[in-house]
Structure 1
Amino acid sequence: MAIEKSTPASGLSRRGAPLAVSAARVDMDLFFEAAQNLYDPEENPEGYFTLNVAENALMIPMMKARIDKILQQGAVPEWAFQYTDPNGHPEVRETVAAFMEQYLCQCPIAPDSIAFSAGAAATIEVSTFMLADEGDVVVIPAPAYPMYTNDVGLKSGLQRYDLQTHHHPADHGDLSPLTTAHLDAAWADISGQGQRFKILLLTSPDNPTGCMYSEQQLREIAEWCMAHEVHLVVSEIYGLSLVNIEDGDIRADYTPATVPQSFAQLMAELQSDYLHLWYALSKDFAMSGFRFGIVHSLNESFLKGFGNVNIPQMVSNLAQWVIGELMKDHAFLERYIATNKARLTGSYKAVVKALRELEVPYVPSRGSLFVWADFSKYLKEDSEKGKEDLWMDIYHSTGILLTPGAGFQHKKYGVFRIVYTTLPLSHLEVALERLKTFFQDRAS
């Protein structure tokens, strides 16, 4: 009698087989294609522009120069060759906690309240494994980072729920529209389906909108989560990548009376096991390849368990040592943060100027590396196919690769994320001229 096979023909597990034939992101294959033919004003003036991957190339030269000096001038310590605490080497945790306290959070951060993992994705994966059970629901205000789906779902087995807070980007503003009424509606919907709303995940500044949360918003949301025993996690991965909202060219887009603050300040005040913060060095410090993520929590049981789950995803000791040395150099940090803000603002203004000329609505960004723009008036049809056709038409006609809104789980068609930090300002200006010409010709 033949034995019925329970695994795919490839021999992979039922979990692994689909991953072998699917892309991690809808734009990933096109990114690798475009990356082989990048624009260069001298060598390749007809080349492509990859405005879809969230890397801060504007700051890589400055960061590289500083790390080169650390490696040239410093002696790697003996502990870097040995096993260390799975939550991070104690001395480096002290240094990173001091950095967070002074620059990111502006409130006391105890070294034993933070832990390191190998990048933001690993930090998300380990955290969600600890905070929720398989099948539980992670609620995320839409639009939101596409890869959250994999980060919370592939190994932890959690379900992503995209909470629609608005439809038109023009209705959004520079602060998040999320309210506790939205959370009440999500709670009722999820409970009605027999599921458990276990985690609320916010990003501030947000990906893709660049909006932030006011102190009052965070307070109301935190109190709602604590009352409902829902874990509230705020990612501040773009916390130091801020736009100068006082710049005269963009000041009118903002509500400057509202000054956002780090979620860590509320955590320090409320002292709850249900409040957590994520950070990483990939965006603010242009160090995607160093794979350095951080979680801050006052939940001692969570941190102890995090270390046990985190062992396969520990940050290498060499990377920890380099980061520790970098964060001791306060003069460099202050110079770097100021330079980053100036460059981000310059590139952001260039994008906004082009969008205004095209009369394309956008969400005013307080920070991050993006602009969330609504090109829906250029759709030939208001549908998934219409969005796909416009996206591909932009790519093939201009060489500009954007990220379509579908991956962000936003319901409106024709909205795209523009990453403005993947190339120098002079190159970005060329891309924007191509984009303007494309849409102006389409409108005529």
Structure 2
Amino acid sequence: MAMCKSHGQDSSYFIGWQEYEKNPYDPIQNPSGIIQMGLAENQVLVSFMAEIRRKKVKFDPKNLVLTAGSTSANETLIFCLAEPGEALLIPTPYYPGFDRDLKWRTGAEIVPIHCYSSNNFRITESALEEAYEQAQKLNLTVKGVFITNPSNPLGTTMSHDELNILITFAMAKNIHIVSDEIYAGTVFDSPKFISIMEALIDRKLEKSKMWNQVHIVSSLSKDLGLPGFRIGMIYSNNETLIAAATKMSSFGLISSQTQYLLSKILGDRKFIKRYIKENKKQLIHRREMLASGLANSGIKCLESNAGLFCFIDMRDLLKSNTFEAEMELWKKIISDVGLNVSPGSSCHCSEPGWFRVCFANMSKETLDLAMQRISNFVNSEGNLLPNFQQQPPLVAATGSRRIRTIANWVVKLSSGEGRTDR
């Protein structure tokens, strides 16, 4: 783990913080302790994090580090956990920006955990072991597993069983778990979101070594629709990591104006509860619009319950079962259909023919137009390949209602794949 002994923090300004941490005031436990008047506490943020997680987890403000967005949070965490040339295991498909955020400046490597549509891209014990063995073959030291929960691009939450498999694996290998939970507030349907911290608590691992080897990344970009505010968070029970991350965060601070506005927004508990409720309602509605529009064109999407997007299966429209054919179809959809589509291969999907579709970044009228363009395109394509007709049926879900469909298809309507707001 990264250590930093000299960071310009030997001034009285920072020494005051250190003395406070040694002897913090508490009205009952330590009434003669030092009262913190030099630092804005993160109470409102940890309260919001707990609210999003149905108060199943209690967060301690002193274990929270603020960064200028989740991109900075993820990079900072990897700087703290891995040396150049060491590796992280990441389930596929995953957000393409991780190749930049986790690798470019840290020098860390990514080894994919290959997941497949046969079980809806769920993590398995065998997939974890195979990825670990692959890292060993490449002479890479594995420092941890990095997950996104809810998943981008799948729009799904990890099950309790998956989280338990992951925790058991990490304990056996003595490695870390980083859980990017920036979409936790976008869960709009069952099953409910389970934070990695909640899974640890359920297994009564608070006193174990693993308690200090699990770290959460969070953000307000998706939960509150504030990508421009650039507010990211690192949460960890590991004091050494938090100390290192705190020092590194000084290179990407959040402005005082942003912090002031944030405290006002999060301090309005009634507004936050209303917003979360209304946001979920709107996401369900948009998800249903997309799913029903695709179903009308005979298109299936992976069953999802979170996020601002769906993962859709286009394998029947490929000329061959190859990533080259996927890229050919992708170019056709952009140039001929007029939809900004991103192929699954950009997300390191292990199977060709999958695409991510965003449904929350446009008006109802624009979404209707996109569905019409898709319908016109599908109707013009009469060359479905018979060897792909044997694909297992998927479900296009509209909320709790499930629609059986015939063809396999996918699109991703997002206009910001290269941006850092994900």
TM-score category, normalised to shorter length: 0.7 to 0.9
Quote the Cα distance in structure 2 between the aligned partners of 1:338 and 1:304. Answer: 36
Q: How does 1:117-156 map to 2 (within 5 A)?
A: 117-156=67-106
2:70, 2:244 → 1: CA distance?
A: 18
Map residues 24-39 of structure 1 onto 2, 5 A cutoff: none
Match of 1:250 in 2: none
Do the aligned partners of residues 389 and 240 (structure 1) sit closer, same or farther apart at CA in structure 2, a change above 3 Å counting? same
Residue identity in the other structure for 2:75: E
1:330 paired residue number: 269
- Alignment check: 8 A CA contact 1:244 1:342 kept: no
CA shift digits 1:328-350 (9 cap, x unpaired):
11111111111111111111111
Query: Aligned partner of 1:264: which letter?
Result: M
Partner Cα separation in structure 1 for residue 54 and residue 130 of structure 2: 31
Counterpart in 2 of 1:286?
225
* 1:26-425 map, 5 Å: 90-104=39-53, 106=55, 107-166=57-116, 169=117, 171-173=118-120, 177-245=122-190, 259-268=192-201, 269-271=204-206, 272-425=211-364
Greater Cα offset, 314-323 or 229-238: 314-323
Instruction: Report the alpha carbon displacement of residue 280 of structure 1 after superposing the two structures with TM.
Output: 0.6
| Aligned residues of 2:87 and 2:140 also touching (Cα < 8 A) | yes
Q: Does 1:433 align with 2:372?
A: yes
Any idea what the Cα deviations from partners look like across 1:289-339, whole Å, max 9, x if unmatched? Answer: 111001110000000000112211122222122111111111111111111
Aligned amino acid, residue 423 of structure 1:
M
Q: Distance in 1 between matches of 2:168 and 2:252?
A: 32
**1:196-242 C-alpha deviation (Å, 9 max, x unpaired):** 11121111110011111122321231132123121101111110112
Kept after mapping to 2: 8 A contact 1:226/1:274: no
- Secondary structure at the aligned position of 2:216 is classed as strand
* 1:92 Cα offset (Å): 4.4
What is the distance in 2 between the residues matched to 1:300 and 1:291?
25
1:229-257 CA-partner distances (Å, limit 9, x unpaired): 21101111110112234xxxxxxxxxx5x
Q: Give the Cα separation in 1 of the matches to 2:126 and 2:326.
A: 31
Count of residue correspondences: 344
Instruction: Classify the secondary structure of the residue corresponding to 1:296.
Output: strand
Cα drift, residue 354 of structure 1: 2.5
Aligned structure 1 segments of 4 or more residues deviating by more than 4 angstroms: 82-85
Distance change (3 Å), C-alpha of 1:316 and 1:226: farther
- Measure the CA separation in 2 of the matches of 1:442 and 1:361: 16
Could you tell me how far 1:430 is from its partner in structure 2? 1.4
1-structure distance, mates of 2:237, 2:83: 20
- Identify if the C-alpha distance between structure 1 residues 134 and 298 changes in structure 2 by more than 3 Å, giving closer, same or farther: same
Return the offset for 1:267: 4.3
Query: What CA distance in whole angstroms lies between the structure 2 residues aligned with 1:182 and 1:331?
Result: 44
Structure 1's unaligned 5+ residue stretches are 1-81, 246-255
CA contact (8 A) 1:361 1:374 kept: yes
SS in 2 for 1:220: helix
The percent of aligned pairs where both chains have the same amino acid is 23
CA shift for structure 1 position 112: 0.4
For 1:430 and 1:180, locate their aligned partners in 2 and report how far apart those are by CA, in whole Å: 43
Change (3 A) 1:292 1:267: farther
Cα RMSD between the aligned structures? 2.2
Deviation at 1:393, TM superposition (A): 1.2
SS at structure 1 position matched to 2:127: helix
**Higher RCO (CA-CA < 8 Å; seq separation 6+):** 1
Q: Distance in 1 between matches of 2:306 and 2:119?
A: 15
State whether residues 91 and 115 of structure 2, in contact with CA within 8 Å, keep that contact through their aligned partners in structure 1.
yes
> For 1:398 and 1:179, how far apart are their aligned partners in 2?
37
- 1:359 alignment partner, SS class: coil
Q: What is the CA-CA distance between 1:105 and the residue it aligns to?
A: 5.7
Q: Distance in 2 between matches of 1:266 and 1:138?
A: 21
- Give the Cα separation in 2 of the matches to 1:152 and 1:306: 15
- Counterpart residue type for residue 347 of structure 2: F
Match of 1:95, as an amino acid?
A: V
Is this contact kept in 2: 1:105–1:265, CA < 8 A? no
Partners of 1:208 and 1:340 in 2: CA distance: 19
Q: 1:415 and 1:216, CA in 2 relative to 1: closer, same or farther beyond 3 A?
A: closer
Unaligned runs of 5+ in 2: 1-12, 18-37, 384-422
Letter in 2 for 1:104: R
1:394 and 1:94 mapped to 2: Cα distance?
Answer: 47
**Secondary structure, in 3 states, of the residue corresponding to 1:155?**
coil
